[in-house]
Amino acid sequence: MNPLAPIGCTVLGFLAAAGRLVLFAAMAVMHCILPPWYPRLVLRQILEIGYFSLPVVGLTAVFTGMVLALQSYTGFSRFEAESAIAGIVVLSVTRELGPVLAGLMVAGRVGAAIAAELGTMRVTEQIDALTTLSTNPFKYLVAPRVIAATLTLPILVAIADIIGVLGGYIVSIGKLGFNPTVYLHSTFDILEPMDVISGLVKAAVFGFLIALMGCYHGYHSQRGAQGVGTATTYAVVSGSILILTFNYIVTEIFFSV
């Protein structure tokens, strides 16, 4: 047998999967834009994705801010550059850690839930039933989730930014003995609008990717309980990897302008 054949097969399989995913994404975007829309379903998903993710995202953010302050103190006190800590915390949180960590947490929570729900609907023929009742599953199931996640993640991340900075503030003031006024002053001094905006744009991209991967794997779930389980795992893993990939791409775009 040709030793190159397995490599070729893998590459072709990968390209086919990528093609299917891109087609799915294009369909999803098209159905988000074209009417009919389902505002009730979008609101319900916003509640489901946004509101119920607040505790997870908030806890992640506060501890991240706290540990950032602590770690950068350890490093920066060696150069007597403690005054940089406020800036380190706020820039890391708004530009990177807020969106990425919130994105990863939501990918675990929401991506999995979407894949499990759509996968169950696929396996129990509810998606087929939608079609026979003259309802397009892309419009009724995929579009509301994609719209809701894309809109909600920036809001979640904005909240995570505030809580993260607050976490750094608590440790810096309470444990490291900084002056509150000076700390806050240097926080806002160094922060540029673009730092926050780039983070929120990332959040919107991540929201889109999370919902897309959840819907894609759920929609194409194989039959049986095992099929749904696999779909859920894939949704989380591929969602997380895409978040990290697109994090770099978006950063690169913002960095070069």
Which residues here bind other proteins, judged by CB under 8 A? 121, 124-126, 128-135, 140
Cβ 132 to other proteins shortest distance, Å = 4
Cβ 53 to other proteins shortest distance, Å = 19
Residue 175 or 223 having the CB closest to other proteins: 223
Residue 27 or 67 having the CB closest to other proteins: 27
Cβ 186 to other proteins shortest distance, Å = 50
Residue 121 or 160 having the CB closest to other proteins: 121
Give the distance, in angstroms, between the CA of residue 215 and the centroid of all CA atoms in the same chain: 14
Q: Which residues contact 175 (CB under 8 A, 6 or more apart)?
A: 70
Cβ 212 to other proteins shortest distance, Å = 21
Give the distance, in angstroms, between the CA of residue 37 and the centroid of all CA atoms in the same chain: 24
Q: Are 210 and 243 in contact (CB under 8 A)?
A: yes
Residue 76 or 140 having the CB closest to other proteins: 140
Q: Which residues contact 82 (CB under 8 A, 6 or more apart)?
A: 73, 76, 176, 178
CA 125 – CA 38 distance, rounded (Å): 21
Closest residue by Cα to residue 104 from 156, 164, 166, 65: 156
Cβ 226 to other proteins shortest distance, Å = 17
Residue 54 or 130 having the CB closest to other proteins: 130
